[in-house]
Amino acid sequence: MLGTWRWNVVFGLIGTVLTVAFSIGNNPISVMLLRSVYAFIAFFVLAYGVRVVLAFILQPPSLVGEHSEQDVGKGNQFDMQTPDETYDLNQLLKSQLQDGAIPPSVETPSNEAADFRPLNPPQLLSAKNTQPEELVKAIRHLTGE
């Protein structure tokens, strides 16, 4: 079952408090105390039913088929290591220090080496020393006039 008998006592006390709260102005004290005892007993027994229903609802689903002894440890641990790449990393860092050298681990095969050319974009120039006519011409070209 779900929980302990303390839950039943808590439900019983809640029933007692509710009974006293609703009957304090309408009944004499002796009737109110007798009905609150009956309410405690009723709520105490009712809590067992609520606990049984909750235990049934919250029960984990049973697995289809039984586990064999071989399957007991499977899926509990994932033991995998990555290969040691410190040498390749050191070579890559050394090649970057040497201006533009291709690292040995990244070298392309010989048939692709002739076709491959690294991107070499032109360097941007500043427009500090240009003539005003050239600037006006460029602005008119960009604005579409």
> 18 lies in which domain range?
5-57
CB–CB of 57/74 below 8 Å?
no
> Given this model, what pLDDT does residue 25 score?
87
Residue 26 lies in a domain: yes
What crossing angle do the helices spanning 29-57 and 5-23 adopt, rounded to 10°? 140
The first and second tokens of residue 108, run together, are 């392309």
The whole-angstrom separation of Cα 97 and Cα 92 is 9
Residue 26: burial class (beta carbons within 10 Å; 0-12, 13-18, 19+)? exposed
- Counting the structural domains of the chain, the total is 1
Would you say residue 71 lies in a domain?
Answer: no
Determine the pLDDT at residue 108: 46
Between CA 138 and CA 80 the distance in angstroms is 61
The position carrying tokens 């009957």 is 23
Quote the pLDDT of residue 78: 76
How many CA atoms are closer than 13 Å to the CA of 143, on its beta-carbon side? Answer: 7
Within-domain flag for 37: yes
In a domain, 142, yes or no: no
Q: How buried is residue 40: exposed, middle or buried, by Cβ count under 10 Å (0-12/13-18/19+)?
A: buried
65 domain-assigned: no
Give a yes or no: residue 29 inside a domain. Answer: yes
**Terminus-to-terminus CA distance in the chain, angstroms?**
86
Note the pLDDT of residue 61.
75
In this structure, is residue 111 part of a structural domain?
no
Q: What is the pLDDT along the chain (145 residues), one digit of tens a residue?
A: 567 888 899 999 999 999 999 998 888 999 999 999 999 999 999 999 998 898 888 887 775 555 566 666 677 777 778 878 888 888 888 888 884 545 445 554 555 556 777 777 777 766 666 788 888 888 898 898 7
Task: Indicate whether 22 belongs to any domain.
Answer: yes
Whole-prediction pTM? 0.41
